Amino acid sequence: MRVLVTGGAKELGRAFAEVLGAQGHELVITGRDEKALDAAETELKAKGVDVRTHVADLADPHATPKLIESLGHLDVLVNNGALGGPVGPTWEVDEDDWWRTFEVNLRGTATAMNAAIRTMTSGRIINVVSNAGVHRWPYVTAYSVSKAAVIKLTENVAVELKRRPIAVLSYDPGMVDVGLMHRGCDESAQDPELRKIAQWARTQRAQGRFTPVEQSAGLLARIVSGEFDHRSGGLVTPSDG
Ligand SMILES: NC(=O)c1ccc[n+]([C@@H]2O[C@H](COP(=O)([O-])OP(=O)(O)OC[C@H]3O[C@@H](n4cnc5c(N)ncnc54)[C@H](OP(=O)(O)O)[C@@H]3O)[C@@H](O)[C@H]2O)c1
């Protein structure tokens, strides 16, 4: 299958790309960081993966849709790229930063999803969300609320798609010791809110509440294969693994 992974060159997105490539899918990977994209392309190709990479900033509402339209055919879109957003009391953080998080996490996800639906005859769209979009996540409200909005968007669009063979699912990959959560555990954080979050995250990790990255990527691969299509509109979490 041809699978597009936004933000697929780094961290969790890269782990997704690795497992999908190993399963023989044809990959299209996007991100903003050209160097990381080039490195991912070289390394995945060395493993025999059919992959191509494109710079596409999710903050530009035309970039990813234009790429998707140019592909002509797409089976699966994995909307993985996202920002962690500003940290601190909501009324104190930079408002532009707060809204930029929505531009990427919500608008970027929605515009890519819409373009994929217009292009696809059948397939699936997987919107990578977070437990932060289900439960409160104080001091990280742009991230939390943007992910909650993606979960609700997914529920609605799945109903609109019910007469077409296209599934749309939310996927919470769990707390994984890469990317956002790995940086979130940083012991050297100076800012008091970041320090509190880091302490909490390290406790979660120490108590075994993190999901191993292989397990998280393995479950994503099962969603990509269509195993969860019957739950279109719903949220898949590590407990489904
Ligand atoms: N790590 C976790 O434990 C965890 C837990 C729950 C949910 N998640 C979700 O999993 C996904 C990946 O998280 P992560 O931890 O790997 O985060 P990360 O380390 O911050 O990586 C974010 C990815 O998104 C891409 N990205 C960010 N802004 C972008 C933009 N404007 N346009 C295009 N690509 C953009 C980045 O690539 P460039 O820098 O090249 O743009 C990078 O590949 C996110 O949706 C996150 O919410 C992660």
Full set of structural domains in the chain with CATH = 2-174+214-227 (3.40.50.720), 176-210 (no CATH)
End-to-end alpha carbon distance in the chain: 22
Instruction: Establish whether residue 82 lines the binding site of ligand 1, counting it when its CB lies within 6 angstroms of any ligand atom.
Output: yes
Decide if 235 contacts 223 (C-beta within 8 A). no
| d(CA 80, ligand 1 centre) in Å | 6
- Which are the contacts of 100, defined by CB distance < 8 A and separation ≥ 6? 59, 83, 85
Strand 235-236 to 123-128 pairing? unpaired
Buried b (16+ CB within 10 A) or exposed e, 196-227: ebbeebeeebeeeebbebeebbebbbebbeee
Decide if 148 contacts 130 (C-beta within 8 A). no
DSSP annotation of 91 reads: T
Structure tokens at 98: 């707060």
Distance CA 10, CA 43 (A): 12
**Pick from 134, 38, 35, 145: nearest CA to 83:** 145
Q: For the segment 97-138, what is each residue's pLDDT rounded down to a tens digit?
A: 999 999 999 999 999 999 999 999 999 999 999 999 999 999
DSSP annotation of 104 reads: I
| d(CA 207, ligand 1 centre) in Å | 24
Q: Is 70 exposed, middle or buried (0-12, 13-18, 19+ CB in 10 A)?
A: exposed
Residue to probe by mutation, ligand 1, list 4, 6, 11, most atoms within 8 Å of CB? 11
Which pLDDT score is estimated for 44? Answer: 98
Per-residue confidence at 190, pLDDT binned at 50, 70, 90? confident
Q: For the segment 147-162, what is each residue's pLDDT rounded down to a tens digit?
A: 999 999 999 999 999 9
SS3 94: coil
Residue 193 reports pLDDT greater than 90: no
Ligand 1 atom 24 nearest Cα: 81
| d(CA 180, ligand 1 centre) in Å | 7
What mean pLDDT do residues 192-213 have?
94
Distances (CA, A) of 47 to 10, 12, 24, 92, 125: 17, 18, 11, 47, 26
Which pLDDT score is estimated for 187? Answer: 85
